[in-house]
Each structure stands twice: as C-alpha cells, then as structure tokens.
C-alpha cells in the first residue's frame, strides 16, 4: 500500500480479510466505506505480486463461497508498469 494503489481499490489487510467478509453488509460498509461485495458482482483482489491476493481469495472463499472472486494477474507490479507508465503515484 505504501507503493501506491489502484484508485478504486479498498485496502483490507490480509490478516482481517476473512473476518471482513464475514461481517454483515452494514458493518462492512461502516468499517470500509464501501458496500460489501455480493455474488452478483466480481470482486478483484490484488497485492504487490499476486501471492497474498490469492491467499486472501482462498480465505474469503471459505467465508463466502458464492462470492465471485478474481486475482488481478500481475497485481500491483503490472498495474504500476502498464496503467501508470511515467505518471507519478498520487
């Protein structure tokens, strides 16, 4: 997160991701400021290189197996290189 983040992303630390997705929707929104994802939408996880985001997906799928999850292939390193180019991180 210190290196930057995808602008529309919400940071949920790996250590609390399972508990976060076990929260009722109103508590999730109060804590993270966004609606809790539902099975009718795709939830994309990313980290610096892809390993921790896959770990997060594995944890979330145990709590909510109906949630549609994807791991952003290439994760932050890919995003920073391709989406940011020479633009500074904001």
Q: What is the pLDDT of residue 17?
A: 97
Q: What is the pLDDT of residue 77?
A: 74
pLDDT at 4 over 50: yes
- Rounded CA-CA distance 76/19 in Å is 24
Per-residue pLDDT tens digits for 48-61 = 777 889 999 999 99
The confidence score (pLDDT) of residue 90 equals: 42
Strands 68-71 and 42-45: parallel
Instruction: Quote the percentage of the chain above a pLDDT of 90.
Output: 58
Distance CA 18, CA 83 (A): 29
């Amino acid at each position: 997160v210190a290196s930057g983040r995808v602008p529309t992303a919400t940071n949920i630390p790996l250590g609390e991701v399972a508990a976060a997705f076990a929260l009722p929707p109103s508590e999730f929104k109060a804590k993270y400021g966004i609606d809790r994802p539902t099975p009718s939408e795709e939830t994309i996880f990313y980290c610096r290189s892809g390993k921790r985001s896959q770990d997060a997906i594995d944890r979330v799928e145990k709590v909510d197996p109906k949630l549609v999850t994807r791991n952003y292939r290439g994760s932050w390193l890919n995003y920073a290189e391709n989406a940011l180019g020479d633009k500074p991180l904001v």
